[in-house]
Amino acid sequence: MVVILKENPDKQQLNKLVKWLESLHLKTHLSEGAQQSILGVIGDTSVVDIELIQALDIVEDVKRIQEPYKNANRKFHPADTVIDLGTCKIGGGNFALIAGPCSIESEEQILGVARAVKAAGARVLRGGAFKPRTSPYAFQGLRDEGIKLLLEAKKATGLPVVTEIMDLSQLPLFDEVDIIQVGARNMQNFELLKALGRVRKPILLKRALAGTLQELLMSAEYIMAEGNEQIILCERGIRTFETYTRNTLDLSAVPALKTLSHLPVIVDPSHATGISRLVPPMALAATAAGADGLIIEVHNDPAHARCDGPQSLTPEAFADLSKRINHILEVR
Amino acid sequence: MVVILKENPDKQQLNKLVKWLESLHLKTHLSEGAQQSILGVIGDTSVVDIELIQALDIVEDVKRIQEPYKNANRKFHPADTVIDLGTCKIGGGNFALIAGPCSIESEEQILGVARAVKAAGARVLRGGAFKPRTSPYAFQGLRDEGIKLLLEAKKATGLPVVTEIMDLSQLPLFDEVDIIQVGARNMQNFELLKALGRVRKPILLKRALAGTLQELLMSAEYIMAEGNEQIILCERGIRTFETYTRNTLDLSAVPALKTLSHLPVIVDPSHATGISRLVPPMALAATAAGADGLIIEVHNDPAHARCDGPQSLTPEAFADLSKRINHILEVR
Amino acid sequence: MVVILKENPDKQQLNKLVKWLESLHLKTHLSEGAQQSILGVIGDTSVVDIELIQALDIVEDVKRIQEPYKNANRKFHPADTVIDLGTCKIGGGNFALIAGPCSIESEEQILGVARAVKAAGARVLRGGAFKPRTSPYAFQGLRDEGIKLLLEAKKATGLPVVTEIMDLSQLPLFDEVDIIQVGARNMQNFELLKALGRVRKPILLKRALAGTLQELLMSAEYIMAEGNEQIILCERGIRTFETYTRNTLDLSAVPALKTLSHLPVIVDPSHATGISRLVPPMALAATAAGADGLIIEVHNDPAHARCDGPQSLTPEAFADLSKRINHILEVR
Amino acid sequence: MVVILKENPDKQQLNKLVKWLESLHLKTHLSEGAQQSILGVIGDTSVVDIELIQALDIVEDVKRIQEPYKNANRKFHPADTVIDLGTCKIGGGNFALIAGPCSIESEEQILGVARAVKAAGARVLRGGAFKPRTSPYAFQGLRDEGIKLLLEAKKATGLPVVTEIMDLSQLPLFDEVDIIQVGARNMQNFELLKALGRVRKPILLKRALAGTLQELLMSAEYIMAEGNEQIILCERGIRTFETYTRNTLDLSAVPALKTLSHLPVIVDPSHATGISRLVPPMALAATAAGADGLIIEVHNDPAHARCDGPQSLTPEAFADLSKRINHILEVR
């Protein structure tokens, strides 16, 4: 951490600051210049609340040098985290295809899609029961009933399942769910993150529309600080000025996150683009960029899907894409 | 709503679409051109799930013409909504200054600040008990104890109070709180919004970092659809590429929201800029732009505040600002 | 400047770096920690090319502490720059209203608008001759002929005039123009900026759609480094995810730029919002925020303007706004 | 085009609008509803200035349905444009690797890099002579001398060369240059675009930091409208809120642009990320996404490059990457 001091800082206040930092087991070095002095702070600064220092009269600015996260940091945990679902693994060289409908609509639909995506190579089944929708008048998901149908599809196909939680009061319904998804809108729902830190199952944490990579890792840190270290990070597009696509898929997040952290990183090209014909090229690109998996929307009848139809692939298109992804995996 | 059709649309599918729209009591008009045909849809389209149409094979694009919100829409409710707190009103020409510390730290602190801001002209006291912090290692607020201290300050000064809820499980603690704040990170926590729609007290709804004006109004609509029509909208800065300020205060949101909706609109210049010296000019600007109120962070000792010190005003600076705001109010 | 070193940096390379920095008359201080060492660099670092250091093997990151601009920096030039146009001044407490049509269309139009805005209190006449348009099929301005008409309006009314240059080949036409405008799209047209640095007249420099405050000041520095210190900075809205307004007016740029620099700062609420009914509230807000002037589009017949009609005020609306601006000026 | 009318539009004005549209050989259809009426406009609307309509009193909003570009539009020109450089082709299934240093620094450097990248599989040599730099104090390129050295490298290796133009006054120097690059900052330098439309050589047009896909295509249209149809579009990262990477590479632009237009699309992973270790994964991802080529910065001694060292690859790293790109090309 580097503290940039105002011109002619009050000596007494500076002394006080130095003593406080040293009481936190940090080392400080003062570099004095004619117009500007800086105080270098060395040690574990992740516990320091940067705003406390920023607010001091003698301080012009504070810049972090170390990342403010620890459990999620590759520097302190060099080996890749591997999520083991029994039937498949994610991370540490293991790639997993996750697929299924945006929302669960009926037994017939979820079972049909589950069988189709399994046959095409998917290793995990996705399906939304609780649906975050911008409008209160849009279909909100089958909720409890949806979870039940998803678990039936799990039984029928043997595929582990992932579905989204929207509020911590729903947690009891997720007992047999294999991976709990935290959606982009809840990336900074800190009470939910803390509760999921006390759960013992993998969490699929999606990046918020305006979430920086550092904030995504800090949200992972919230979960990990409570004891749950099984987290899968998911890039799903960020909000920018471009309106042609629903969001802008930030694929550089894949190698960046894998450098900064040991957690597996997957990509959701369906929500990122919002346009089914852009899903295959972005899925292939994400694979080439080094993603540990993909989560893709597949619907048996996209034109009549109750949500996100425009971005869903048919089972046939998914099967074709799955083959092309395998070709990339062989050469990447 | 305008449905742009692909070249040579299948007649049968087009017929099916037209019949379905008419079954929703909408009128349709087909304009056929050599290369492009469009289907105009007239009536109350707020209930139509636009994605259902977008996913159809014969459809190239769909454009909404009407706003997808109804209860929050000024077109259907021309008169300003006025929030009446007994001791003061917000909206419909009534301006209210809301002030207080970012977080409640002690009885002495909250009481001291409450008295100071009241003396300077504040009509509502703010203070955070549950604090959303990016880092799990930063101060998380006094929580239940904070609410208790805030209610003591309410008793002591007679000021109505506003404080943030972070999860719906906390709702029972808000019984004597006058206004419940939904923070920017929870603007699309739809389960929380629905629950607050069943509460009978004003909700202060902050715009998300990446929330469009329309999404903010749709979130208000979630609350209103459940029966609670007392909502105060709050512009508090959006996330852009500019990093000099913490966020970018979008003041054009004030007249824009007041055109689109009848709900009162206030501005938070403290979180928007993150820099105390920018708070007064932005508070004055917001007032001149027509805001119905301001929410400003004031701390008796910003240099030792446990959070957001850099953006807090001293009580003296706030008293001075309050006078200047009044001057603007007289001429605006 | 602070250089963050990689773990166990090569001593020889570090020595070489230190010697090179000292050869530039900079002082260095090394703070060594167990895991991280940092090199503080004190002195005039604006001449250091930060990328040269960033590329070194031993360097993890470099953070600037000092601003990289000098001539535009208030630290080295505390007094406000005042632009003196003879008939009026801008900056240092002097506020100027600049108004006129987006584009010059005919002698009758420019003369009519010029007389109307002068009567309403405008001190400078604006009017576009060279028009940057997104589409090659849109009206491109009257060009040379437009400049001629603008100068006739100057003669007829005595108002100084400002108009935009789009390429340095057009410079000879600007001899009698009082202020040369550099549009948002040319903020980083560095060849043009250098040429304008050798001109001896005020330059109105608009912020780019994706230009940071620092980049705007660096562009001013390009002009100033060549000897022309008469620059007026202009905030005109930045591009964000919000699409309700054409751009997002960043009013915090006004007090921020005035802190960082001594140059006058004006605001263009017409281009920022793109909606005429949002122009008056944003003009009043900009005035309250401390702007040194405003540049506003006024057209005698907005419904038939050849460009930017939707954001133009009528002369009557402008006259009314001018009075309200004066009321704010009296109390700000 | 769809014109949304205000409630109870004046019949006479509406008639006038309809007649004017019909005089432009467009067909109109009026759909009247109780609260809202819309006017559908069918035909070639690319020549209509949308703002003229938007400004009318009776109009609430106007929405384009057709793209406002024609020459660049795949709808009117279904076959891929292929750029033929004699020794290699770009587009229509032909992939080209473009590589070289950010800036030309010396004869030895440009020749060395040219030979190395040719050996590794590059088909075009890049090198900057005129360098757009944010700071006037940073290295501005060797300018005329740089072009001379680049042409020597062309002679020595037989590689066609691409280099950036910053102002149209530099055009005479580009006689023997094979591809003229328009940088991101000049994407909307319309005078330059028009001049390049009268040149008979390929133009490499980079997307602006805040340029939408549509604006990029409109800028291509500026060049094509003057007669030059040899344009290569280049995605090089856009500006977003994320600061970990220099820009955010928008790879979905590749399939999107190739759907909208027949022009070849290449990707610049070096400027997009600004970090050399992110260049290979993003280069592979761009290839998998369907790009027609890549432009990559390679420097023989990145640690001593005079500009953009942190994002340059060594010749060895480039040779390795080139092989991996070929593997992706074989399976994509």
Mean pLDDT of the region D6-34: 85
Calculate how close chain C gets to A246, using CA atoms only, in Å. 11
Mean pLDDT of the region B67-91: 95
Answer positive or negative: Cα dihedral of B155, B156, B161, B166.
negative
Q: How confident is the model at residue C34 (pLDDT cuts 50, 70, 90)?
A: low
Give, in degrees to the nearest 5, the angle at Cα A41 between A37 and A44.
165
Calculate how close chain D gets to C80, using CA atoms only, in Å. 23
Chain A interface residues (partner D, CB cutoff 8 A): 210, 212-214, 238, 240-245, 248-252, 254-256, 259, 272-273, 277-278, 281-282, 284-290, 324, 327-328, 330-332
The DSSP bridge pattern shows strands C265-267 and C231-235 to be parallel
Q: Show residues of chain B in contact with D244, CB under 8 Å.
A: none
Q: Give the number of beta-carbon pairs within 8 Å between C and D.
A: 132
Mean pLDDT of the region D109-135: 96
Q: And the tokens for A211? A: 């979430």
Q: And the tokens for C41? A: 């660099």
CB pairs under 8 A, 24+ apart, for C139-148? C139/C103, C139/C306, C139/C307, C139/D49, C140/D190, C141/C103, C141/C104, C142/C103, C142/C104, C142/C105, C144/C173, C146/C103, C146/C104, C147/C173, C147/C174, C147/C177
For residue B251, the model assigns a pLDDT of 98
Calculate how close chain A gets to B95, using CA atoms only, in Å. 30
Residue in A50, B310, A62 with CA at minimum distance from that of residue C65: A62
For residue A34, the model assigns a pLDDT of 67
* Cβ distance of C290 and B282 shorter than 8 Å: no
Q: How confident is the model at residue B215 (pLDDT cuts 50, 70, 90)?
A: very high
Q: How confident is the model at residue B51 (pLDDT cuts 50, 70, 90)?
A: confident
Mean pLDDT of the region D271-298: 96
For residue A106, the model assigns a pLDDT of 96
Q: Give the number of beta-carbon pairs within 8 Å between A and B.
A: 133
Mean pLDDT of the region D121-144: 95
Calculate how close chain C gets to B256, using CA atoms only, in Å. 7
All chains having 3 or more CB pairs closer than 8 angstroms to chain D: A, B, C
DSSP β-bridge partners for residue C21? none
- What pLDDT, in 10s, does the model give residues C177-231? 999 999 999 999 999 999 999 999 999 999 999 999 999 999 999 999 999 999 9
Mean pLDDT of the region B179-195: 97
Best residue in D242, D326, D327, D329 for a mutation probing chain A (most A CBs within 10 Å):
D242
Mean pLDDT of the region C117-125: 98
Query: Over 90: is that where the pLDDT of D44 sits?
Result: no
CA B131 to chain centre: 18
| A78, burial (CB in 10 Å: exposed 0-12, middle 13-18, buried 19+) | exposed
Calculate how close chain A gets to B87, using CA atoms only, in Å. 33
**Closest partner residue to A54 among B68, B306, B309, by Cβ?**
B309
Backbone angles phi, psi at D328, to 5 degrees: -65, -45
For residue B328, the model assigns a pLDDT of 97
Nearest CA in chain A to D240: A240
Q: Show residues of chain D in contact with B7, CB under 8 Å.
A: none
Q: Show residues of chain B in contact with A303, CB under 8 Å.
A: 55-57
Query: Over 90: is that where the pLDDT of C39 sits?
Result: no
Answer positive or negative: Cα dihedral of B41, B47, B50, B55.
negative
Query: Over 70: is that where the pLDDT of B58 sits?
Result: yes
| A200, burial (CB in 10 Å: exposed 0-12, middle 13-18, buried 19+) | exposed
Q: How confident is the model at residue D25 (pLDDT cuts 50, 70, 90)?
A: confident
Nearest CA in chain C to A242: C241
Q: And the tokens for B248? A: 């970018």
* Cβ distance of A287 and D288 shorter than 8 Å: yes
Calculate how close chain A gets to C210, using CA atoms only, in Å. 10
How far apart, in whole angstroms, are the C-alpha atoms of residue D6 and residue D3? 10
Answer positive or negative: Cα dihedral of D116, D122, D123, D128.
negative
**Closest partner residue to C252 among B243, B254, B273, by Cβ?**
B273
Q: What percent of chain D has pLDDT above 90?
A: 74
CA A237 to chain centre: 11
How far apart, in whole angstroms, are the C-alpha atoms of residue B321 and residue B324? 5
Q: Show residues of chain C in contact with B287, CB under 8 Å.
A: 288
Best residue in C216, C242, C323 for a mutation probing chain B (most B CBs within 10 Å):
C242
Nearest CA in chain A to D243: A212
Best residue in C207, C218, C243, C252 for a mutation probing chain B (most B CBs within 10 Å):
C252
Calculate how close chain C gets to B241, using CA atoms only, in Å. 7
How far apart, in whole angstroms, are the C-alpha atoms of residue B216 and residue B214? 5
**Closest partner residue to A286 among D210, D250, D285, by Cβ?**
D285
Rg (CA), chain B: 23
* Cβ distance of C307 and D49 shorter than 8 Å: yes
Q: What percent of chain D has pLDDT above 70?
A: 99
Number of Cβ within a 10 Å radius of residue A23:
8
For residue C51, the model assigns a pLDDT of 78
The arrangement of strands across the sheet holding A37-42 comes to: A27-32, A37-42, A2-5, A59-63
End-to-end Cα spacing for chain D: 38
For residue B71, the model assigns a pLDDT of 95
Q: What percent of chain C has pLDDT above 90?
A: 74
* Cβ distance of A138 and B307 shorter than 8 Å: no
Residue in C18, A269, A4, C184 with CA at minimum distance from that of residue D285: A269
Each residue's pLDDT tens digit in chain A (332 positions)?
888 888 888 888 899 889 988 888 888 888 887 667 888 888 888 778 787 888 888 888 888 878 889 999 998 899 999 999 999 999 999 999 999 999 999 999 999 999 999 999 999 999 999 999 999 988 899 999 999 999 999 999 999 999 999 999 999 999 999 999 999 999 999 999 999 999 999 999 999 999 999 999 999 999 999 999 999 999 999 999 999 999 999 999 999 999 999 999 999 999 999 999 999 999 999 999 999 999 999 998 877 777 777 789 999 999 999 999 999 999 98
Model-wide pTM > 0.80: yes
CB proximity list for D157: less than 8 A, separation 6 or greater = D111, D114, D115, D118, D125
Q: Show residues of chain B in contact with D38, CB under 8 Å.
A: 2, 40, 42, 65
Q: Between C158 and D21, name the one with better pLDDT.
A: C158
Mean pLDDT of the region D246-266: 98
All chains having 3 or more CB pairs closer than 8 angstroms to chain A: B, C, D
Query: Chain-wide mean pLDDT for chain D?
Result: 93
How far apart, in whole angstroms, are the C-alpha atoms of residue D205 and residue D223? 10
- What pLDDT, in 10s, does the model give residues A55-90? 888 888 888 878 889 999 998 899 999 999 999 999
Cβ atoms D28, D41 nearer than 8 A: yes
Calculate how close chain B gets to D286, using CA atoms only, in Å. 24
Q: How confident is the model at residue B24 (pLDDT cuts 50, 70, 90)?
A: confident
For residue A7, the model assigns a pLDDT of 83
Least-confidence region, from B194-198, C274-278, D79-83, D301-305: D301-305
**Closest partner residue to A239 among B134, B210, B305, by Cβ?**
B210
* Cβ distance of B36 and D65 shorter than 8 Å: yes
Mean pLDDT of the region D91-98: 98
Q: Show residues of chain B in contact with C282, CB under 8 Å.
A: 251-252, 255, 289
Q: Show residues of chain D in contact with C167, CB under 8 Å.
A: 167-168, 189, 191-192
* Cβ distance of C285 and B281 shorter than 8 Å: no
- What pLDDT, in 10s, does the model give residues C302-321? 777 777 777 899 999 999 99
For residue B121, the model assigns a pLDDT of 97
Calculate how close chain C gets to A76, using CA atoms only, in Å. 11
Q: And the tokens for C206? A: 């608009």
- What pLDDT, in 10s, does the model give residues B102-130? 999 999 999 999 999 999 999 999 999 99
> Would you call B316 helix, strand, or coil by DSSP?
helix
How far apart, in whole angstroms, are the C-alpha atoms of residue D293 and residue D282? 13
Least-confidence region, from A216-230, B89-103, B211-225, C31-45: C31-45
* Cβ distance of A36 and C42 shorter than 8 Å: yes
Best residue in C20, C66, C137 for a mutation probing chain D (most D CBs within 10 Å):
C137
Q: Between B128 and C51, name the one with better pLDDT.
A: B128
Tell me, what's the ipTM? 0.93
For residue D37, the model assigns a pLDDT of 82
* Cβ distance of B137 and A166 shorter than 8 Å: no
* Cβ distance of A65 and C241 shorter than 8 Å: no
* Cβ distance of B4 and D243 shorter than 8 Å: no
Q: Show residues of chain D in contact with A272, CB under 8 Å.
A: 252
For residue A46, the model assigns a pLDDT of 77
**Closest partner residue to A241 among C33, C38, C239, by Cβ?**
C239
For residue B32, the model assigns a pLDDT of 80
Query: Over 70: is that where the pLDDT of D81 sits?
Result: yes
Count helices and strands in chain B by DSSP H and E runs: 10, 14
Mean pLDDT of the region B80-87: 98
For residue C91, the model assigns a pLDDT of 98
With both helix axes pointing from N to C terminus, report the angle between B279-288 and C279-288 in degrees, rounded to the nearest 10.
150
Mean pLDDT of the region C144-158: 98
CB proximity list for D301: less than 8 A, separation 6 or greater = none
| D60, burial (CB in 10 Å: exposed 0-12, middle 13-18, buried 19+) | middle
* Cβ distance of D136 and C218 shorter than 8 Å: yes
Q: Give the number of beta-carbon pairs within 8 Å between B and C.
A: 117
DSSP-H helix ranges across chain D? 11-23, 50-54, 107-120, 144-157, 190-197, 213-225, 253-260, 269-273, 279-288, 315-331
The DSSP bridge pattern shows strands A293-297 and B2-5 to be unpaired
Chain A interface residues (partner C, CB cutoff 8 A): 2, 4, 27, 29, 31-34, 36-38, 40, 42-43, 61, 63, 65-66, 239-241, 243
